[in-house]
Copies of this chain bind each other. A is one copy, B any other.
């Protein structure tokens, strides 16, 4: 039987295998420190489409079709897709799956979506409901700017705490094949918490307490410590949220500094790429996981990672209404067999 540990964590009786993974990013993302880590780079920001939403949809669809092909599978082999994105009513996800003949669960977790989709897709396998599931998400700088911020043409200035939405997508196929070397063994599911931060240009500060809370719960529920990991990686707090997280955890007597990084800090060079506090968007942690991190695990240079994707659950309306920003973080433990 799968085992519930503490209040927020599940340990899978049989670890869930990662059969394949695929990442695709835009031009800027491949000019940063992770250059060369991604499966595909598309320099046309419109991806051959006529608007940003359809561009993002094409980006996500490409990731999904490619990860199925990379696994040597066909559409009919995939039992469920779990996917979502940032665009109102998850436009990108729905328009990307309408031509795929696969049962679909739509999710919304803002930038925590990659960890949420991996968690649910892993539960579907570990619960005996599926042989293969697909977890995916995407974001696009231009569709996000258009929806959440200002028209691109306006050239608005941004605060130093703001993050740049990554144009990218990541997709993973999970499997019940016990021989696969990279495996999901635990998931820790976050609670939605609101810590009173009201500045939509400082989402790192809004999300850091949610990440701290989920990491704390993961260690409390499992008995693991930071020493059990080569890497604990949040996605995506940016540099402001990253420092805050370390501070919040140290107040709780937890020091993860030696093994900690953040996808929003990894994907861009903050000195050279004018991205302010770093990367953000569902596609940030998704493309870093499916580009860099799972690649390093396959090479054997990483053995145990805790992937903690964080979501700021605001909307333009909630900001205009002066509301603070609820946030959430979900953690997934990925280990070499």
Contact = CB atoms under 8 A, between A and B. Distances in A.
Nearest to A146: B317
Interface in A95-152: 95, 97-110, 116, 119-120, 123-124, 126-131
A90 B318 CA distance: 11
A205 interface: no
Interface in A157-194: 189-194
A30 B256 CA distance: 55
A323 B96 CA distance: 13
A282 B112 CA distance: 23
Contacts of A193: 98
Interface stretch (A1-9, A234-242, A259-267, A272-280): A1-9
Interface string A293-336: 00000000000000000000111111001010010100000000
A126 B130 CA distance: 13
Interface residues on A, range: 35 or more
B89 A4 contact: no
B107 A107 contact: yes
Contacts of A316: 88
Interface of A: 1-2, 4, 7-8, 10, 13, 51, 53-54, 76, 79-80, 84, 86-91, 94-95, 97-110, 116, 119-120, 123-124, 126-131, 189-194, 313-318, 321, 323, 326, 328
